[in-house]
Structures are given as structure tokens and as C-alpha cells.
Amino acid sequence: MLRLSALIVPLVAFLTLVVHVQAQEILCPQHKHLEGEVQKCKSLLPDLSGKKDKLAAVSIRYGLRCAREVDPDISIPDIRERRCKTDDPQDFPRKFYQCWNRLLDTDELLTRVGFSGEDLEKFRSAAKCVNNVIEKTLDEQ
């Protein structure tokens, strides 16, 4: 029984994290005017049937990995706030999106969830497009 309770605590923490991160919107309030450009990027996506849950898990992993790369002490609830902060002393938003783009090129996780060939390139292009649209606005602020 002790073993079971030892497994339940991390599982509940992980599920709470998944719900919290999935509930976050891609665009920060100050970037809502970019919705049209982001939709154009999303139109580049390949067919995602059968991959949406795995892709959500990859997105969560990339988000956490990049957030912790920029700020190892960041808490889960602070990720969105820091990502949307316009005057962050560590330039968190820019470094976060640059990390995402780097992971899209170098990480093997996308191939493990079923992307390959043209679909992999389409997904990478669409995700980078969204990141670049958002990152471009950081230069304007």
C-alpha cells in the first residue's frame, strides 16, 4: 500500500500540471491581435489525427524544458506570466521561443510520436511560424 501511495502523489501532481499547462493559451493578452497570423501558421499543420494527445504531451515537455532552461527555479504557474511579461529582466519570452525552435530542430521526440518525412517538416514549419510571429512582436515592444 505504501508503494501505491508513493506513486499516486507524483501522478496527481503530473495530472495537475498537465491540466494547468493545457489550459494556458498560446497567445498572451497583448498578442491577441496576432490571432489571424497564428491561424495562417496553423494552416501549415499536417493531419494530426491520432497524434493530438501525444503532441499535447510534447508541447508540455518542450514548454517546461524551455522555461527551466531560461530560469531553473521557475514555478509551473509562473511560466505563462513570464512568457507574457514585456519587461522581463532575463528576456524570458525571447529565450523561451528560441529554445522551442531549437528543440523543434534537434529533439527526437516528434519522431517518436509518429511524425516523419513531410509531416514532420510541416509540423516544424507551423510551430516555428507561430513562435516567430510572437517573437517578432517582442522586437516591437
The full set of domain ranges for the chain reads 35-140
Q: Which residue has the higher pLDDT, 122 or 4?
A: 122
Q: What is the pLDDT of residues 11-25, one digit of tens each?
A: 333 333 343 333 346
Distinct helix (H) and strand (E) counts, the chain? 7, 0
Residue 87 has what DSSP assignment? T
Report pLDDT digits (tens) over 115-129. 889 999 999 999 999
